[in-house]
Structure 1
Amino acid sequence: MWVIHPFPGGLLEITGKDRVPFLHNILSHDIKGLPTGQGRPVCLLNRQGQIRFGGFLHAGETAHWLELPGGQAPAVQAMLEPYVISESVAFQDRSSDLQAIPLLGEGTDTLLQKICSIPAPLQQHLQGAAPTGDPVRWIIRWHWNELAGFVLWVDAGQTESVRKNLLQRGAEAAGPERFHALRIAAGVPWAPQELNETVLLNELETEKEPLPERSWVSYNKGCFIGQEIVARIHWRTQPPRKLTRFILSGEKAPETPAPLMEKGTVVGQLTSAARLEETGQIVGLGLLKTGCASTRMEVQTAAGTIQAERTGP
């Protein structure tokens, strides 16, 4: 298992008595139906159904916590604030006073119990969050395909001591490169690579009936920004592309984005690539045109052409 430091993520705290209906009305998932202690991936869309931001929203008793790719919290706060009219809703970027320590891989439950108790809700759900004591303020469970573990949000001044404690108990130190390799291998989109305004929300949905914890949208919640386009694509047609995982040839990850080619024709875009140390393979994540039946294609890079083999959604 690995302790990721520094972690390329931030945290936006949302408080106020109207926060649940406010978030429910503008975000892609069912927030009114999100129980305390559980989490969901969510997006804010534009009216064309494209992604303005994506993150993981967790429900607490007195606040909701929005985990975001690093550095995005101020920009996301600026996106959300104009939608507040008379509602009692407040935002606070907690990325400076709380820092994240992801603990990922097999055996994380056992190791984490040695430094703090895992609240009961986190033992029952694939995605969830719960408050704890000092210095670990919040524990958030992640479970997305093969990417599983916890994110500890720790008082900024205590980050190094908590990290050393985990390392002394058997975890392995790793940097953001390892995190990106793990999330690419698991098919987890990240910003700005896969979460940006060139991507339709439907292009992230890789399962016909995903669990709510792994779906970016609720098709039954009613209206939200971009809902008409998202629903039309879901019920009547297909998205133009689908998020897809690849294994790439070569010993070094190519720079991205890069076009995916089949017999000289562009069939998609490779958006992320990294070397997975466990296997030595170069793993990739990209958006492949719907209907492309080929399992093998080429990637055009500045250094030349490499091979890409599709391994799954």
Structure 2
Amino acid sequence: MWTSLPSSSLRVTGTDRVDFIHGQMTGDLRRAPTPGVVPCAFLNVKGQIEFFSRVYRRQGDLYLHLSAGEAEALQARLKRYIIFDQVELENVTDTLSTIHVWHEAELPGWDAAGADAQQFELAGQTVLGGRVNRTGKAGVDLHYLSKDENDVKATLTGPERSLAELETARITAGIPDVSADHFQGVLPQEIGLDVGGPLPAISYRKGCYVGQEIMARLEARGNTRHHLARLQGELTPFSEVTLDGKVVGQLGAVANGLGLARLRKEIGDGQEVQAGAGTATVQRLSTNA
């Protein structure tokens, strides 16, 4: 099974590319192998998420895979921090496309026992793959030249699944998506991006980056007021979550009566809350403390 992913992307070149991007992102790019992939967030000075990305380290460049419509804004942000760095940023959204293959064993040429990032031959071109869990099981984000899309799709086995079906699987599995859930502007630890969460994207052992001081304080304190939870019921997507008239969280995308929410930790498993006009039941995710 496979699904076409709406995406945008940046290519970063220049001799200072690794040090420059490493100094902007929450993940540890310097320790990544080549090829390698590092999930990360780009934060503001308050430690709040502006962008989520998977950064691929390759021989000669970096590839930043983002949700649709985000590359231009991230490119503008990064340009503000270039001073003497030998770095060039290129928006390659119109050049490259991405498909998510739901089960890695179904992708021809991909080594399911191999590294998390691999370059291999498919449909007569060199493609880039990254092991990504979007459904509760390991799959592969497959990146390729858009001009060869028909040839690439012809090599894939299994049926094509819609983006709505992929979203349903993601939400059911309890995996956040910063863009799809509209979780920009919150702390990474509040929505499962911390170490041990469903989408780990932070290193506490790397050097400074924008928002790092806030991350260090949260690590030392060991807690936040919110965490990621799942709601089930009559849900209004992207609505405030309330209890007794008080706002206790925010709901992301919704599929089949399920949604992921940034929720106050004191709201217990099985408790009923309001999510828009309807009533919902809280389901604590096993990855949360």
TM range (shorter): 0.7 to 0.9
Cα distance change, pair 192–283 in 1 and its aligned pair in 2 (3 A): closer
Structure 1 unmatched runs, 5+? 276-281
Report what 2:147 is aligned to: 157
2:226 maps to 1:241: yes
Relative distance call for 1:12 and 1:131 in structure 2 (3 A) is: farther
Cα distance, 1:311 vs structure 2 = 4.2
- Whole-angstrom distance in 1 between the partners of 2:183 and 2:66: 11
2:196 paired with 1:210: yes
CA contact (8 A) 1:243 1:287 kept: yes
Q: Determine which of 28, 31, 34 is the counterpart of 1:30.
A: 28
**For 1:141 and 1:293, how far apart are their aligned partners in 2?**
33
- 8 Å CA contact 2:176–2:199 kept in 1: the answer is no
Letter in 2 for 1:182: A
* 8 A Cα contact 1:202 1:234, kept in partner: no
Whole-Å separation in 2 of the counterparts to 1:195 and 1:76: 16
Q: Report 1:261-276 matches (<5 A).
A: 261-275=242-256
Structure 2 unpaired stretches of 5+: none
Aligned to 2:270: 295
Instruction: Please name the residue that 1:148 is paired with.
Output: 138
Paired residues, number: 284
Question: Is the CA contact (8 Å cut-off) linking 2:117 and 2:128 kept in structure 1?
Answer: no
* Separation of aligned partners in 2, 1:158 and 1:123: 27
Contact kept in structure 2, 1:101 and 1:159, CA below 8 Å: no
Given that residues 193 and 201 in structure 2 are in contact (C-alpha distance below 8 angstroms), is that contact kept between their aligned partners in structure 1?
A: no
CA contact (8 A) 1:260 1:297 kept: no
Task: Find the counterpart in structure 2 of residue 18 from structure 1.
Answer: 16
Please identify, of 135-144 and 83-92, the stretch whose mean Cα deviation from structure 2 is larger.
135-144
| CA displacement at 1:266 relative to structure 2 | 2.6
In the TM superposition, what is the alpha-carbon distance from 1:18 to its structure 2 partner? 0.7
Tell me if the contact between 2:251 and 2:275 (Cα under 8 Å) persists in the aligned partners.
Answer: no
Matches within 5 A, 1:84-123: 84-105=82-103, 108-109=104-105, 111-113=106-108, 117-118=109-110, 123=113
Residue 117 of structure 2 corresponds to 128
Residue type of the alignment partner of 1:130: Q
Structure 1 vs Structure 2 CA RMSD: 2.4
- Report the Cα distance in structure 2 between the residues aligned to 1:129 and 1:239, rounded to whole angstroms: 36
Q: Which residue of 1 aligns with 2:128?
A: 138
Q: TM-score, normalised by structure 1?
A: 0.82
Shift of 1:193: 2.6
